[in-house]
Amino acid sequence: MSGEVIRCKAAVAREAGKPLVIEEVEVAPPQKMEVRLKILFTSLCHTDVYFWEAKGQNPLFPRILGHEAGGIVESVGEGVTDLKPGDKVLPIFTGECGECRHCKSEDSNMCDLLRINTDRGVMINDGKSRFSKDGEPIYHFLGTSTFSEYTVVHSGCVAKINPDAPLDKVCVLSCGISTGMGATLNVAKPKKGMSVAIFGLGAVGLAAAEGAHIAGASRIIGIDLNASRAEEAKKFGVTEFVNPKDHDKPIEQVIAAMTDGGVDRSVECTGNVKAMISAFECVHDGWGVAVLVGVPNKDDEFKTLPINFLNERTLKGTFFGNYKPRTDIPGVVEKYMNKELEVEKFITHNIGFSEINKAFDYMLKGESLRCVIRMDA
């Protein structure tokens, strides 16, 4: 099939908020520095839902969504030397070119060439889509478009992983779980015995809690407006649950009272700017560190008093848990293989590709953390 167009099934988003349509599409061969992947498993992330609903961004349709997945390399384009057909891989929504200042820095994973671009619906090599139907282009999403049996991605957005890793499990490490876990382990860096507050207990927040658990935190305080998340959060190491609705004073004051002046670390995973401010203001003076993970509305402003910084609190932001996609994600998969990390508890549903719209229903009803979609069913 190498060098030829492949006809396969894809779930196409044709208009905002309408069910995806399973259609036969044509997938062109990979061009320079691209690879064509056979997707075996994909999962639904809230980012897919957000762009499917087309709320607050430039809508682009028809489009093939999907960015959390696992598959194998089908063919490689010109110039690709580090991947070959048959390699087991995770496509990643952001990349690592290996050449720019960010890639050469130990401190950054924000590649100049391949960092996330939510507006782009084409490949960067030639500004064209590799997907079409009846001669009409279908747009890409996040450079991955994994809701298709075959997809074309830039080789810098592909993590080559352990050939023994089960793709139906580790596919969920390609976005949300690595984002949350990395925010705690790589950025907040709690020491053993510290207290950690996690704002928002969706999949990313629970992964952040799991990171705190792995780091040996003594108290992990989960904060969420949904009381039904309290019980499930215990599986991820959360020791105490706080619902801001149950209190008549600001949540940062509630947490300060619980922790003798504030938590040692906090990780914010909601994207709500008020929660971001609370996450910063609830850390202890002198050594407290707050990390922002959630993505706010583009016009939101973060307001706090400068004295909070002068009293030696630190505020940090993170993107994709500070993991470099090609360099670091294979190591996260190894953590799973070595039983240092459990991903099964994040996977609440498994369905076949023909039922993909059910995954959206589960997510919208708040019933799922991760729904894994088997492409050959």
Query: What residues are annotated to the active site?
Result: 45-47, 67-68, 97, 100, 103, 111, 115, 175, 370
CB 13 within 8 A of CB 63: yes
DSSP lists the bridge partners of residue 25 as 8
Residue 66 phi/psi, 5° resolution?
105, 130
Residue identified by tokens 């952001």 is 94
- In this structure, what token pair is assigned to residue 122? 């084409």
Query: Measuring CA to CA, how many Å separate 259 from each of 89, 194, 195, 218, 240?
Result: 43, 11, 8, 12, 12
Distance between CA atoms of residues 189 and 177, nearest Å: 16
Distance between CA atoms of residues 289 and 85, nearest Å: 44
Bond preceding residue 62 cis, omega within 30 of 0: yes
Give the chain's radius of gyration (CA, Å). Answer: 21
Q: Residues with Cβ < 8 Å from 136, sequence gap 6 or more? A: none
To which H or E segment does residue 253 belong?
helix 251-258
Distance between CA atoms of residues 161 and 155, nearest Å: 14
